Amino acid sequence: MKKLRESAGFQSVLASVLSILIGLLVGSIVIFIVGCTSKNLSPAVAWDGIRLVFGGLFSTGRDAAGALTWGFNPTNIGNMLFRATPLIMTGLSVAMAYKTGLFNIGAPGQYLIGTLASLMIALGVPSESVPPAIIWLLAFFGGMLAGAIWGAIPGMMKAFLNINEVLACIMTNWIAANLVTWMFDISNFKNVVESTKTGYIYKTTFNNVATPKMGLDKLFPNSQVNGGILIAIVLAIGVYVMMSKTTFGYELKACGSNRHAARYAGIQDKRNIVLSMAIAGALSAAGASLYWLAGNTEFFWSTYQSLPGTGFNGIPVALLAACHPIGVIFTAIFMSMLDIAGLQLTNLTAYNEYITDVIISVIVYLSAFSLVIKMWLSSRKKKTEKTEGGSAK
Amino acid sequence: METQYAIEMLNITKKFPGIIANDNITLQLKQGEIHALLGENGAGKSTLMSVLFGLYQPEEGVIKKNGQVVSIKDPNDATALGIGMVHQHFKLVDVFTVLDNIILGAETTKMGFLQRKEARAKVEELSKRYGLQVNLDAKVEDITVGMQQRVEILKMLYRDNEILIFDEPTAVLTPQEIDELMATMKEFSREGKSILFISHKLNEIMAVADRVSVLRKGKYIGTVETKDTDKQALSNMMVGRPVQLEVTKEPAKPGEEVLKVEHFSVPSHVHKRNAVNDVSLTVHSGEIVCIAGIDGNGQTEFIHGLTGLDKSSGGTVTLCGQDISKASIRQRGLNMSHIPEDRHKHGLVLDFTLEQNMVLQRYQEKQFQNAGFINNKAVRDYADTLIERFDVRSGQGAITTARSMSGGNQQKAIIAREIDRDKSLIVAVQPTRGLDVGAIEYIHSQLVAERDKGKAVLLVSLELDEVMSLSDRILVMYEGEIVGELDPKQTDVQELGLYMAGAKRQGKEAQA
């Protein structure tokens, strides 16, 4: 037990958990203050709000008397897992690049390019002549391939021209945003049938393409969940194995922590930087594929003014997980749990939906803090060791 | 009698978590003497000087100046007491002129405006008096290392310091410059200034110091008069056991040609000309060939070109009969191991564990991987073997992070790895830089052992003692060219120094 407590892994987990708790606490304080100062809210509503932030996942609504009710809510959990799917992938993308010494801020752009390729393939290949399962696979891997190419661009700039990958990624993000808008604008996929809303393209179900449920709909009825979450988890495990067990991962990590030494050892540093970014891009794009190929999601194609939050949220997901691929699964699920809690807060109280964004932001902000907390933990550990050593004498 | 000591550090104890850096150390510096402080790396010399400079506060002990107890809380107090120091790594502003560097921090101002004229007059006067030639208007980045050191000395004089500390001052100088520095130091002591001379070079200590204090592992070993001791006794005091100062080796028995470099040129990163220009040399099996020279004369570029880290711009390299001029680093590595100059930049991935570093070039070999998956057990066993055989010490053995190891053990790890790769040519660049006598002795014996096994060893060294004692042939590099080939048995440090400084060179035809 003591050994576990002192292991570096445990320290990271503890640091992340602490920063999450602090984030929730600060969020609760915000809710409380807003509750006490707003005209249409009261401290009692604030108390409901705080409880929903912590336990929104298990909220089942209000009873006749108007009190909050709690219990197992399969819809909530299913939706949480569905929202976590793309986050796991973008988180993996950032984490994997970070392990190889690269800061992949290009996840949103790669995500968009993945969206473009997957949707184009999923809607463009006629399902009358090609089995939908094949179309799905084509769309999934096509999306990954497009993301890989998109990721490789800043990778090549870094490797061959020594341009900082952060700069190149930001540029390629906006190029992606405009490219995607343009490509859909001139395409035939704009949704003209369901004209209730404008600016959306067809769901992939119009072409009979959708990710199989793999039985998860039985487990979590009335939710959006599908097999994508399982694919994401498998990919996360795959990234973990690749990075920590294979010679390829060893090379990537060597390049990441000391490019010069890697070169000295005969490792092709330039090739590996490009590969790292390409894999990161493919992972991000896979997130997009899994999200849009679900069949029940509609893509708003006019993206030229905004980048998808899912891409950026990969950064806090990765940081909160200390860039551990397996940890990413849990932090991504946690982030989407907050999302669900936010929805419940909006639905069940008079709180404005944006307050949940404030809370999420606080936690995101504190995720960077988890490093500080980790340092504090290890310095505390050293102190205890010293006193223990002293008393032993 | 009490005032015979200019500065006294009495019973100084300074502890850091887990280690006692200075354990009850007493150092007494007489008025007008040159006092050497001798010790291996990690013996506590730097800590002691930091205490004297007010950077650390000791747990115990007092500092006295002229018999009076003084309190030094920060470097400003030290300066006020007339203590000045020439650091091993110069603390100069590269883009400032020499004059501006000298007055920096002690500027004469009138109503907030610099009075350079007065300052210049004072510096010129000092420079003339001590024969410390400097160009006051040159920028520091454009002047030689020797002149930079003179700037540092003038900085101390400008501040009217009475107690001068020289931290490893000769490491970057040519033999001639070292002689000049020694003369200057003696001149200072004649004038009554007290000098503390930190070094591990026994020759210089014997030549210039009046007394020597020796530290070992944070403890004070003793103080001796140089006239009552010799080099061997001093090194035994420093290391704590009898040390082999001279490398013992049989005469070389050179075999077949292993490395042949012809008309080799490497472009410079700094200027448009070649850093290495038309260099030709050969290394045979069973001999140690040393490239000597002052730092920055193209040795680094030559090695980078040879090992493939940089591209060459002309000439051919033949290793074991194969032309490797255009080969990749890994292909070159098939017959060459390389102990790099910069162990942190090239030699190790500092955030990797020791075992991961031990297989840095070999991870993809069959014994360490299976279908792309690293065989952790094989790696661990291999690392453990090397650690035991080469006595690499670390906190947690094979799983220690390389960053947390001491410099000497990091270097030992690299040497272990490179020697065990068992290649025909060993390229060793400054393999003992920054290491203490014990580690140096060990590394030298390893290189000689490899030579005797029939390996070809190409050594690059800036340390003249190392060049003279270890090599079988010496090639002197000056401004990117080989200017002379010398036989260590038939030459001396003085002659070597003339070649290194470019004052002497052999004709092109003579070296062929």
Q: What is the pLDDT of residues B11-58, one digit of tens each?
A: 999 887 767 888 899 999 998 899 999 887 667 887 888 888 888 888
Question: What pLDDT, on a 0 to 100 scale, did the predictor assign at position B512?
Answer: 39
Question: What pLDDT, on a 0 to 100 scale, did the predictor assign at position A97?
Answer: 95
Give residue-wise pLDDT tens across range B469-510: 889 999 999 888 899 898 888 888 888 888 888 878 876 444
Q: Which residues of B touch A251 (CB under 8 A)?
A: 363
Question: CA B109 to CA B116: how far, in whole Å?
Answer: 8
Nearest to B369 among A247, A260, A386 (CB): A247
Q: Look at the block and give the residue holding tokens 């091993």.
A: B88
With CA atoms as reference, report the closest residue to B353 among A269, A257, A241: A257
Those residues with Cβ within 8 angstroms of residue B350's Cβ, 6 or more apart along the chain or in another chain? A257, A258, B344, B401, B402, B403
Q: How far is CA B258 from CA A377, B95, B281, B425, in A?
A: 55, 45, 11, 7
Q: Which residues of A touch B355 (CB under 8 A)?
A: none
**Partners of B319 in the β-ladder:** B259, B322
As to burial, measured by CB atoms within 10 angstroms (0-12 exposed, 13-18 middle, 19+ buried), residue A246 is middle
Q: What integer is the mean pLDDT of A9-33? A: 82
Q: Which domains does chain A have, with CATH numbers?
A: 74-335 (1.10.3470)
The answer to whether A258 contacts B340, with C-beta atoms less than 8 Å apart, is no
Question: CA A45 to CA A40: how far, in whole Å?
Answer: 9
The answer to whether A258 contacts B329, with C-beta atoms less than 8 Å apart, is no
Residue B435 sits at the vertex; the CA angle it makes with B431 and B436, to the nearest 5 degrees, is 135
Question: CA B406 to CA B381: how far, in whole Å?
Answer: 22
Question: CA A284 to CA A239: how far, in whole Å?
Answer: 13
Helix pair angle (A269-292, A228-245), 10° resolution: 170
Q: Which amino acid is at B240?
A: G
Question: CA B117 to CA B120: how far, in whole Å?
Answer: 5
What is residue B89's DSSP assignment? S
Question: What pLDDT, on a 0 to 100 scale, did the predictor assign at position A52?
Answer: 85
Domain B257-335+423-511: which CATH number of 3.40.50.300, 3.30.420.40, 3.10.105.10, 1.10.3720.10: 3.40.50.300
pLDDT at A322 over 70: yes
CATH topology assigned to domain B2-239:
Rossmann fold (3.40.50)
pLDDT higher at B102 or A14: B102
Question: CA A324 to CA A239: how far, in whole Å?
Answer: 10
pLDDT at A385 over 70: no
Helix pair angle (B437-452, B231-239), 10° resolution: 100
pTM exceeding the 0.90 threshold for the entire prediction: no
- Edge-first strand listing for the sheet containing B19-30: B68-70, B60-65, B5-16, B19-30, B219-225, B211-216, B34-38, B194-199, B163-167, B83-86
Distance from CA of B271 to the nearest CA of A (A): 20
Give residue-wise pLDDT tens across range B235-274: 888 888 777 767 778 888 888 889 999 999 998 877 777 8
- CB neighbours of residue B281 within 10 Å: 20
Q: Which residues of B touch A263 (CB under 8 A)?
A: 309, 329, 346
Joined together, the tokens standing for residue A274 give 């490009």
Question: What pLDDT, on a 0 to 100 scale, did the predictor assign at position A108?
Answer: 95
Closest chain A residue by Cα to residue B356: A250
> DSSP letters along B391-425, please?
T---SSGGGSBGGGS-HHHHHHHHHHHHHHT--SE
**Cα B507 to the chain's mean position, in Å?**
31
Give residue-wise pLDDT tens across range A230-287: 999 999 999 999 999 999 999 999 998 899 999 999 999 999 999 999 999 999 999 9
Q: In angstroms, what is the C-alpha Rg of chain B? A: 25
Q: How far apart are the first and last CA of chain A?
A: 23
Nearest to A248 among B329, B333, B372 (CB): B372
Question: What pLDDT, on a 0 to 100 scale, did the predictor assign at position A205?
Answer: 83
Distance from CA of B11 to the nearest CA of A (A): 24
Identical topology for domains B2-239 and B257-335+423-511: yes
- CB neighbours of residue B235 within 10 Å: 22
In sequence order, what E strands does B189-295 have?
A: 194-199, 211-216, 219-225, 257-267, 274-284, 288-292
Q: What integer is the mean pLDDT of B276-300? A: 89
Q: Is B258 helix (H, G, I), strand (E, B) or coil?
A: strand
Domain parsing of chain B, residue ranges: 2-239, 257-335+423-511
Give residue-wise pLDDT tens across range A37-75: 888 778 888 888 888 888 888 888 888 877 888 888 888
Give residue-wise pLDDT tens across range A189-216: 887 777 667 788 888 888 888 888 888 8
Q: How far is CA B169 from CA B89, B146, B166, in A?
A: 9, 10, 6
Q: What are phi and psi of A221, to 5 degrees?
A: -65, 160
Distance from CA of B372 to the nearest CA of A (A): 5
Q: What are phi and psi of B200, to 5 degrees?
A: -120, 15
Q: How far is CA B62 from CA A57, B6, B10, B57, B383, in A?
A: 65, 14, 5, 10, 47
Question: CA B298 to CA B480: how far, in whole Å?
Answer: 5
Q: Which residues of B touch A254 (CB under 8 A)?
A: 349, 352, 360
Task: Yes or no: say if B231 and B206 are a contact pair by the CB < 8 Å rule.
Answer: yes
Q: How far is CA B484 from CA A161, A294, B228, B274, B473, in A?
A: 40, 75, 39, 19, 11
The answer to whether A247 contacts B340, with C-beta atoms less than 8 Å apart, is no
Helix (H) or strand (E) holding B166: strand B163-167
**Cα A97 to the chain's mean position, in Å?**
14
Question: CA B353 to CA B419: how far, in whole Å?
Answer: 19
pLDDT higher at B175 or B316: B316
Chain B contact for A182 (CB, 8 A cutoff)? no
With CA atoms as reference, report the closest residue to A264 among B333, B300, B322, B359: B333
Q: Which residues of B touch A264 (CB under 8 A)?
A: 307, 309, 329, 338, 340, 346-347, 360
With CA atoms as reference, report the closest residue to B168 among B12, B72, B41: B41
Chain B contact for A8 (CB, 8 A cutoff)? no
Chain B contact for A260 (CB, 8 A cutoff)? yes
Q: In angstroms, what is the C-alpha Rg of chain A? A: 23
Task: Yes or no: say if B256 and B284 are a contact pair by the CB < 8 Å rule.
Answer: yes
